[in-house]
Each structure stands twice: as C-alpha cells, then as structure tokens.
Structure 1
Amino acid sequence: MRRVLPAMAALLAIGAAPATPPAVRAWQTDAEGRQRLAPVALRGAPTGEAITIAIRPERRYQTMVGFGASITDASAILIQQLPAARRAALMRELFGRDGLRLGFTRLTIGASDFSPTHYSFDDMPAGQRDPTLARFSIAPNRATVLPTVQQALAINPRLVVMASPWSPPGWMKSGDSMIGGTLRNDAYAVYARYFVRYLQAYAQAGVPMRYVTIQNEPDFSPKDYPGMRWPAKDRARFVGGYLGPALERARLSTRILEWDHNWDQPEQPETVLNDPVASRYIPGVAWHCYGGDVAAQARVHAAFPGKDTFFTECSGGGWRPGWKTGFGDMVQNLMIGSTRNWARGVLLWNLALDPRGGPHKGGCDNCRGVVTIDPVKGEVRRELEYYALGHLSRFVAPGATRIDTGMAADIPNVAFRNPDGSIVLLAYNRSDGAKRIAARVDTRIVSHLLPSGAAISILWNASRG
C-alpha cells in the first residue's frame, strides 16, 4: 500500500481547497510530464506582449454531461483484483470529489477485444437459437464489471453510464459467430428485446443507463474479436422500427446515440438522422478519434442543431509515444477540440490496463489505459491520459456550460461556466517556444508564461473578484 498512497496523496493535495480559496488558481502539466496537474502561480495583467484569450460568459453553447473512460472487462478485472483497501482508494481517486471526479463511463454489452473471452449475454451452442431469450443473463458481468460500476456510483451518484455492444449474440448473425457477419433480418425484433433485457437487468442492479449505442464502430468488422458492419440505412430501420418502440413499450428512459465511430464518415450519421422515423428516437451522435478530423462533429451539429454530440472512444497507446506527442494530442483533439466542436461528454477507452496492455483477446496489443495496474505488485501508475482528463474533469462540473473564447494563435483553448458561477479555462501551447498568455474574464486579467507543449487549467472562483 505504501507504493500506491504517495501518488494519491499528491493528487488529494492538488484538489484540497484552502479555507478561503484565492480568486484565481491554476494547475499545469508540462510536455515532459515533470509537472502533472501541478499548482502554478499566476501574474496580473502583463506588462509586455501577450496572447490574449478573451472569455465571454454571455455567449453560451452546450451543457456538459461529464468526462471519463470505459469500464471494460479488462479494467474491471484489474480493479477487482486489487486488495479491498487499495481498490477503494483507487476508486475514490478516480470518481471521488477529491480525485479526478470522473462523471461519465461506458460499458460494453457483452465482450469487446478487452475481454478474456468472446461472450454475449445469451450464448448458444453452434446451430442453436434462443428466440425467447430464455438463456439471457448478465452473469458474465456480475463478478467484475457490475461491482466496479456499482462502486463508482456509490462514490459519485451523478455518474452517467452508457453502453455499447461489439456484437449481437452469434446466433443472431450470419455466420453464427460474434466475429464478422451481419445481423439476420429475422433477428431485428429479438435483438431489440435483448437490449431491453440488458437495460432492465442493469437497472435492477442499481445501474441505470442514460445512453446506449446500437453498435460499436459499425463500419468495421474485426478479424479476431467481436464486431459487425451495419450500414446506415439498416441501423435506421432497427432504431425506428424495433429498438425505439421496444424502449417505449418497456418505459425505459435510455436514449439512443447514433454512429459510435470515427470522424471520417459524417455522412453515415447524417443518413440515419435524415430518416424521420429513426431520428425521433435518436437525441445525439457519438464519435471516435481513429480517423478523420474532429471538425466532423461540428458539421453534423450544423446540419442537425437539435441533436447532441458526444465523444465516446479514444485510446492512448504505443502509437503515441512520449508525453509531448501523447499528452498534446489528447488535450488538443479531445479535451479542447471535441468540446469546442459541441461534445457534451468526452470518454477515453480503457479506464485501466495491465503493463502489457491487457488483458485482451484479439484487437489492440499496445493500447494504454488511463491507469496501469500491475496485478502482481498491486501498483498503480497514472498515465498521461489521466492528466489530460484531469485538466477538465477536476474543474468542469456536470451541468457546466461551454462559453465563448477566441482561438488564439498557437494556443488552442476552451472555457466553461460552472453551475456555481465559477469559470474554467483550459489552454495548451502547441508552439515550439514558451508563450505569454493573458486570460481575461470581464475586467479580471491574469497572465502566465506557458511552456511549449504545456497545458494549464485556470479556475476563477465565483465567490470573489
């Protein structure tokens, strides 16, 4: 336990508020990871040249749901393997008020590549089917995933939970396998009931689902783990003709998000949202980071301004080595880019992985979790994604509203107004040299020399100034 607690104690020290907090506080992470959400001193109005970021609270955009990462099978297995005291301390650090304050998570409906086996909640022997769902059970989640999300909710009762399937049960598909294939035409109705049974079972276990998507990455069919291609017109038919009505009949308030895939094909969610029957059951679109540009979120929002935007998956890994590359990409494209392009919530992929990037069965062999848990030593290492998330999750409360800022040269940024009136600015220096920034809210100005590759979160306390 001595190996885990010092890092946790450092985080708690960052989060601990003095009895009378100053009017403005700031925390910085640098490009080398030597500073990690470290408190830094600010100056008043600059005396020389500075890049000015004007914050305009009166110009308001989307209301935020939260920030977080997915509780995959791999993540839950590793968390549950920790001794009870260490597990409780880590969960408080991730979801608690004095920690990262994660407020959004995603579960997998059955197996993903980050599962030790390829399972659904209604597996059948080859060639057999279960049209009445007599064999349905969430038993595969009861030992690890369910207690992990229950503990997270006990710590943060406002935690928003969503879920996504990687594949229907194999017997519902051509090929009779969770790998590859497509959903059989005669399985649309039973697959809708499968969703209802899953949502009801989790609700009965104290885990209501706010959102669901119908297929993770529906334009990708993996060769070694569960997945399925599902064209836009057929997704619209399933939502409009089957799942939407089934949720209504079951009186479930879970909302359906469309797409759950990359930025490179905005025409796919546009096709579904243009279907008038499906669209009435779909309040928003979910996006991933592995192809295209984050501006696709704004394109679809402009075409369908009444629909919400969520960012639901991006993994760190060996393809983003080093702090400057990995941390900078996470902050620029996700924390800043995704929220500036209308995301109400931002989710990274695995909450926890082991030092070898597992456990997994197929798929990514060099992914990185928000934390790395060594199941042998019981040690927890906080990865760069932890700090990228923390630059917003620690300071932007549920119900905060994104507010307007100008996009300053070399300093991507985003700002929010919390329900208590406090204001948060996240800025990142993407240039090759240090830049003096001046952040202004009304007549209140602070300045700071922001190192190259560094991010800073500035919090203006609502009670002063």
Structure 2
Amino acid sequence: MKRVDSWMTTIDGRLLLAAQPQIQMNEASDKADVAFKIHVNAQEQYQVMDGFGASFTDASAYLVHHKLEQGARELLMRLLFDAQEGIGMSMLRQPMGASDFASRLYSYNDLPAGGEDMDLLLFSIEHDRSYILPLLREALRINPQLKIMASPWSPPGWMKTSGQMIGGTLRPECYETYAAYFVKFIVAYEQEGIPIYAVTIQNEPGYEPKEYSGMILKPEEERDFIAHHLGPAFERAGIQTLILCYDHNWDVPEHPLTVLQDPTARRYIAGSAWHCYGGAHEAMSTVRDACPDKGIWFTEASGGAWVPPFREAFLDQMKHVIRSTRNWSKSVVWWNIALDEQNGPTVLSNSTCRGLVGIHQETGEITVHLDYYTMGHISKFVVPGAVRIGSVTYVDAVESVAFRNPDGSTVLIVSNRTPEEQTFEVCTEEGKFIYRLSAEGAITFKW
C-alpha cells in the first residue's frame, strides 16, 4: 500500500508545519458521499517550477550576518535553505543596490552631484562584500539548487532625470550605459561565485517612491531598453541570465503585454514577474494565454501589518502559494528574510513590513514568523524542476495545487478557507484517501 506523509499548520498556531501520522492509501474509498473530491492527475502537466524563497535585502543580510553569533547564524541558514532541517528555500530575489530595506541609499556606481561615468570606470560591488555576498555563498553551499534573481530599485542617480536614487526617469542617453551596468553586475557576481539566474529591469516600474530608491519606467521605455540595449548587450557579452519584464502588481497586465508583444523585445525576454499588492492572481494567466511561450514568475509578496497575523496573514499567504502557482507562476517569493524589532533597518519613516524571521538588534533573539511556515508548505517539499500537475480545487472552500518532483514523488498542498472542519477525498492513480482538515488549516501531503 502507498503511504502518504503530511505536515499541517493550524489557524491557532498550535501546529506549525508539524509532521502528522502516516496515511495509508486505499484502492477504493470507504466514503463515497464526500463533498470535496480532489482528483490529482499526473498526466495533466503545466509549468516547471524554478524555486521558492525570499530576499536577502541589505537589512536582512546585515541582521543575519552582524547581529547573530556564528552558531545562531549557521542554524538560521540551515533552517532557511536546508530541506531536511528547515524549509529548503530554493530562490532568492536580490536587490541590485538599495531597496527600501537598507540603512542608506546606494548603487554600484555612486558619484558626487553633477558627476557622470558613462564608461562605468568606477563601478564596484564593494558594498555587498562584507555581509551580502558571504550569505549568498553560504546559501548556495547549503542548497546548490538555489537560483538567484536580481532586481534594481533604481539606476545610479546620475543616470536619471532626478540626479538621485529617488524619483526621476532613466535619461535616454544613459540607456546603453545602464545595459552595460547590468552586464558588469552579473559578471562581478559570477566572479564571486554567485551566478545570476534572472534579472528584472525595474522593481515596481509603475510606482515612484518618495522615501526610497525607485523610478517610473513606462512599458514603452522598458520595451525599447530591452529590445535595443539590454538584450543586445547580453548577446554580445554571452550572458545567459534570463530577462524578465514588469515586476509589479497584477492590476496592470497591459504593461507586460506591451513589452512581450513587441517582436524585437520578446526575443530577449523569458517572461514576466509579478507582485501581489493590487489586482488578482488571474492576471498572470491572462498574460500567459496571450504569450504562451513566455514564463510567469511571482517575485514579491511581503507580510506586514496591513494583513494582521496570525489568521488573516496565514490565509492570505496560503492563497498566494496555491493561486499563484495555479496561474502559471514558476516561483513563489516572499520579501525580507529578516527584519528587526522596528521592522528595519530601513530608510522608511514608518515600516509596517514583516520578515520571515525577526532578529532583535540588541539581544540577537530570533523570532520565527508565520511567513516562514507558509513558505515552508511549498519550499520544503517541491524542488526546482518539479512540474505542476492537475488537481481539482474548490475556490474559497478547499483549495489545492499539486506537483510531481523529478524523483517521482507527488506533493499536494491543501488550504481549508472555511471556518469549519472540512472532509475531502484525495483520488490519485496510486489510490485514494480521506482526510479531515481543521477549520482554516493547511496541509502538505507527499507520497
């Protein structure tokens, strides 16, 4: 008989990704009147998964590297990146320069006001050497399957109309130089033993922050930058790093479509990247349907005070795990790996974000947040190279998503989105079983 392992999280937090007694599959069901029947069909195959994880922002890397004793740091890294001891994260989205979660604004080519360096003679990743690069190398050592993507929040200030990291737009005469900036970054990181799997062009190109690095990048500007500058620059340099467009919310699918449907730009682009702060998951399917040869990546969803823990935040994040992958995403990526007791370090005057873990600046005490467990429901069990397979889902009731790993194992994630315990039957080609899932709980099955 096939045996099924499972790990559950309950809405009261009593069980947190906790191993449950083994289940035995039967050839025939002993209860035919179950309301929810989740048929898992391995013959029905969708996207190949790339990975699951979060971001070693400047703030996160500083806390993990500088505020933890060596033993605590090594343990946390295993809890993050080792699938046996922890949740086996397999993707990192790394800011190229400062994001909002940094103690100061910086790029890899900062100059005094009025300066220019069109040949990038002063380009340097020196800022990242003391605490970001060591952690990335350690993460890769623990999980060699780890993929690292990179996203800039802003070009160097002198390349922009604002003359600074905040605001402005990319000056047209700097397009070619900015493409060379990406090449230099990728080459510099690879020389440090850190291959860059993919880049996006601009974090949240439709939003102009007032307190942190950012800029507006219109879809036509992104299209032209990729088509005539970045794509050819990668080609000339032999760069294999994937180019992803957009990297913003579900509510403006017209932006990635403008870029992806341009015949010159699309030949350089692997697909589009998405955030969760506006619109609905189905926008990713809309773009995928229009461009079926281009991939979808879900690259940022932060936990924070706007969705209160535990209950609301847990349900929200389990919805992202299931619905983003059901809408073709090859990844699920939360935001900061770690923040301190003030939700920083940050350049923001008021931060309401939450990391996967909290690290107290004075004591070094580590607090594991619910975001760690929601990520673990997928990252610990679904490995890069897995393929999403067919499963029946009941929207806003008993939702599911299923995967077949390269080793032949099957993973099924189920979220009960109702306030009552729900009984469902799982039907597979290997057998069937009945399960009763607690109100608003989530469970990952593996067999």
Bin of the TM-score, shorter chain as denominator length: over 0.9
For 1:136-155, what aligned pairs fall within 5 Å after superposition? Answer: 136-155=123-142
8 Å contact from structure 1 (residues 256, 282) kept in 2: yes
1:32 has 2:31 as partner = no
1:125 has 2:87 as partner = no
Question: What is the rounded CA distance, in whole Å, between the counterparts of 1:278 and 1:55 in structure 2?
Answer: 38
Identify the range of structure 1 (21-30 vs 445-454) with the bigger mean alpha-carbon deviation: 21-30
1:193 has 2:177 as partner = no
Question: What is the rounded CA distance, in whole Å, between the counterparts of 1:354 and 1:443 in structure 2?
Answer: 47
TM-score by length of 1: 0.92
Identify the range of structure 1 (173-182 vs 364-373) with the bigger mean alpha-carbon deviation: 364-373
8 Å contact from structure 1 (residues 49, 436) kept in 2: no
Task: Give the aligned residue type for 1:349.
Answer: W
8 Å contact from structure 2 (residues 402, 410) kept in 1: yes
For structure 1, the residue ranges without an aligned partner over 5 or more in a row are 1-20, 461-465
1:156 has 2:143 as partner = yes
Partner of residue 334 from structure 2, selected from 348, 358, 371: 348
Alignment match, 1:301: 288
Partner of residue 86 from structure 1, selected from 47, 63, 72: 72
Identify the range of structure 1 (247-256 vs 288-297) with the bigger mean alpha-carbon deviation: 247-256
Question: What is the rounded CA distance, in whole Å, between the counterparts of 1:348 and 1:38 in structure 2?
Answer: 21
Q: Deviations over 1:182-230 (max 9, x none)?
A: 0001100111111111111000000010100110000000001010001
Question: What is the rounded CA distance, in whole Å, between the counterparts of 2:209 and 2:4 in structure 1?
Answer: 49
Question: What is the rounded CA distance, in whole Å, between the counterparts of 2:197 and 2:294 in structure 1?
Answer: 15
Find the residue that maps to 2:425 and give its secondary structure: strand
Structure 1 396/363 Cα, relative in aligned 2: closer, same or farther at 3 Å? Answer: farther
1:226 has 2:213 as partner = yes
For 1:353-392, what aligned pairs fall within 5 Å after superposition? Answer: 353-362=339-348, 365-392=351-378
Alignment match, 1:406: 392
Alignment match, 2:223: 236
Find the residue that maps to 2:180 and give its secondary structure: helix
Alignment match, 2:31: 47
Identify the range of structure 1 (150-159 vs 401-410) with the bigger mean alpha-carbon deviation: 401-410
The Cα shift of 1:49 comes to 3.5
Identify the range of structure 1 (263-272 vs 141-150) with the bigger mean alpha-carbon deviation: 141-150
Question: What is the rounded CA distance, in whole Å, between the counterparts of 1:322 and 1:148 in structure 2?
Answer: 28
Partner of residue 52 from structure 2, selected from 61, 67, 73: 67
8 Å contact from structure 2 (residues 260, 271) kept in 1: no
Find the residue that maps to 1:412 and give its secondary structure: strand
For 1:136-285, what aligned pairs fall within 5 Å after superposition? Answer: 136-285=123-272
The Cα shift of 1:46 comes to 4.6
Aligned-residue CA RMSD (Å): 1.4
The Cα shift of 1:375 comes to 2.6
Q: Deviations over 1:327-370 (max 9, x none)?
A: 100001x2100000001111110011112111100276110001
Question: What is the rounded CA distance, in whole Å, between the counterparts of 2:13 and 2:30 in structure 1?
Answer: 27
Task: Give the aligned residue type for 1:104.
Answer: M
For 1:294-333, what aligned pairs fall within 5 Å after superposition? Answer: 294-332=281-319
Question: What is the rounded CA distance, in whole Å, between the counterparts of 2:309 and 2:178 in structure 1?
Answer: 43
1:58 has 2:43 as partner = yes
Alignment match, 1:452: 439
Question: What is the rounded CA distance, in whole Å, between the counterparts of 1:136 and 1:153 in structure 2?
Answer: 25
For 1:411-430, what aligned pairs fall within 5 Å after superposition? Answer: 411-430=398-417
Question: What is the rounded CA distance, in whole Å, between the counterparts of 2:427 and 2:31 in structure 1?
Answer: 14
Question: What is the rounded CA distance, in whole Å, between the counterparts of 1:322 and 1:399 in structure 2?
Answer: 32
Find the residue that maps to 2:324 and give its secondary structure: helix
Find the residue that maps to 1:129 and give its secondary structure: coil
For structure 2, the residue ranges without an aligned partner over 5 or more in a row are none
Alignment match, 1:10: none
Question: What is the rounded CA distance, in whole Å, between the counterparts of 1:359 and 1:324 in structure 2?
Answer: 26
Question: What is the rounded CA distance, in whole Å, between the counterparts of 2:307 and 2:349 in structure 1?
Answer: 17
The Cα shift of 1:380 comes to 1.3
Q: Deviations over 1:71-123 (max 9, x none)?
A: 10011001102111111111011111311110000111110010100001111
8 Å contact from structure 1 (residues 225, 363) kept in 2: no
Question: What is the rounded CA distance, in whole Å, between the counterparts of 2:363 and 2:32 in structure 1?
Answer: 52
The Cα shift of 1:408 comes to 2.7
Task: Give the aligned residue type for 1:411.
Answer: V
Question: What is the rounded CA distance, in whole Å, between the counterparts of 1:186 and 1:66 in structure 2?
Answer: 36
Find the residue that maps to 2:7 and give its secondary structure: strand
Task: Give the aligned residue type for 2:14.
Answer: R
Question: What is the rounded CA distance, in whole Å, between the counterparts of 1:97 and 1:432 in structure 2?
Answer: 31
Q: Deviations over 1:270-297 (max 9, x none)?
A: 0001111111000111000000000000
Question: What is the rounded CA distance, in whole Å, between the counterparts of 2:191 and 2:346 in structure 1?
Answer: 29
The Cα shift of 1:142 comes to 0.7
Find the residue that maps to 2:105 and give its secondary structure: coil
Q: Deviations over 1:33-85 (max 9, x none)?
A: 11101122347645364211010011000011110001100110011021111
Find the residue that maps to 2:115 and give its secondary structure: coil
Q: Deviations over 1:385-422 (max 9, x none)?
A: 11101011111111111000112361111000111111
Q: Which runs of 4+ in 1 moved over 4 A?
A: none
Alignment match, 1:96: 82
8 Å contact from structure 2 (residues 2, 24) kept in 1: no
